[in-house]
Structure 1
Amino acid sequence: MSLDKVFHPPAPVHRALAGAVDQEALDAPGQLQSRHGALSLAPATPQAARSLTGVVARASSQAVASRRAAAFADYRSLSADRQIAATQAVPLKMAAAQAPATLTQMLAVAPQAKAEIDELAQRLAEPHRGTVLRGPIKSAVRAQQKVDADYGGDPTRLKDLVRNTIVVSAPSMGPVTESLRRQGAAVKVIDGKSDPLGYSGVNSSMKTSFGIFGEIQVNTPAMLYAKQGGEKVRQQLGDAVFNEVASRTSVPGGMGHKLYEEWRVLSPDDPAAQVIAQKSRTYYDTVRADNGY
């Protein structure tokens, strides 16, 4: 039985074996002559030519078999963990060398990058009894719109193709934010006193090991209730937390985003925009005060 039928090597080892074939079996007679100068490759008769062809074929076959056996022996001599490493070496190097440069490539690795930031967010939230809202991967259409509008057509600058939100109590906002900084995230703290609409929270972005950015936001249940409200936030926070916030808050939930949508289509200098901004600041201030911060 041939070696090929009893040994099915992993890809990198297979490439080593294939190299033996490429080097020997594909040699032309003229090349063999240059390496074995004593051998004449100018036969006098057709019969001699056929005989010489057989000699070359057998020599080539023996060389291939020898090299295959050596490669197999080298592989078998490795420990189990080093065999695994050998099979992974080439793909890992390729992944590192081929960082996503187009939106299509970025979307291809987005699920893995999403899992990475979700795991990190969960790890940071757990000591503070927080929860993680795992937002969906941004759609290709919406991502392209943002790339064109905000980044001059450069998709590699997109920070929130994958994203999530850590939800913790107000006292835990600071510690979680510091933990993100220690993880290498670029952190932006949004102060309700200086934000044009009075919104407060934390935005952060970090480069994942898959070559694209991920966004992790941090906020409180009260601010999510104020910004979005509605059944979706109830499902995200759970009935108990949602009802607790609603019972403490003297204004209806979900007004924050509605006011933002009205404000963003106007010039900041427009008197109507200024009225909306003031209404939004008062709204968020009320929510924070009602919830003790």
Structure 2
Amino acid sequence: MNTAWHNIRWLLRREAMEHRRLIVAPVLLGGIMILLNLLLLVSSLFGHGGRRIHFEFHNGSVLNMLAVNLQPPGPGHAADLGPAVSLLLLATLLLFALALGTAMVSYALGCLFEERRDRSILFWKSLPVSDGQSVAAKTLIVMIALPAIYTAAALVTGWICIGIYIVPLLGGGAAARDLIVQTHLLAISGLTAAALPVYLLTLAPAVGWLLLCSATARRHPALMAVIVPAFFAVLGGLGLPNPAWHLLVGPILPTGFIRALSALGAQGGLGPALAAVYRPITTLDLWLGLLFAAVCLIAATLYRHRFTTLV
């Protein structure tokens, strides 16, 4: 057991070195966002001859614009500023979620396929490393390492961007602490971290399917990954059962997190929001999805072990 875990840790280091761009990408994305917000702040302060910061946000069906002068704000300004600050954090989380999805799909589809294309699989098979350990290391990268890095980068970036706009208001006497409390920024951040493990469990079937396609496809793993769900989508359009949607496509949408945000805003407490986040654990679909993911990973391991198909 110790030897197996030692090999997996060594394989994890190797994956991190070979796919360093996926790990550096969230840091670069966060740096670009922070720089753009700094430039926007400087432009707002000095670019138009007036000292004001503009926040735009969409609330329901009404588009509102708030111009906050860098003077001692009125008592209602913090409440007016709240939706814009919350939207800034949620927009940052959405942007990093899209980047994370792209990174996970790119890595899962290519990690096993590229080893067959560049013939490096022959080298790895000559080492005392089992195919199961290789697949396990790649699964840990795509299911744990990448989501943890991107989520941490998203939260840090979001808070820095919020601070960029709040700090000037602090000098003018703005109640930044009250603003953070009223907008539930800490609760949203905690909810994001709490929702990540459950969301990854719901993504497990899709990740397992992508790794299976990467291990077995002869030419285009992305085409193989899409064509099977597309076939079941056609069946669903004809009124026939469509398990591919429930196992592969449906869980990609973070509906549980959206419901949790709605519960947080409506009831103002973490309890109802966390209940909405962890509700999928009690459903049969989640456990069937995990079973499907395990079958896909076992199939990928067996195929890699028995058929060294070079492309």
Bin of the TM-score, shorter chain as denominator length:
under 0.3
TM-score by length of 2: 0.24
Higher relative contact order (CA 8 A, sep 6+): 2
Would you tell me which structure has more helix in proportion to its own residues?
2
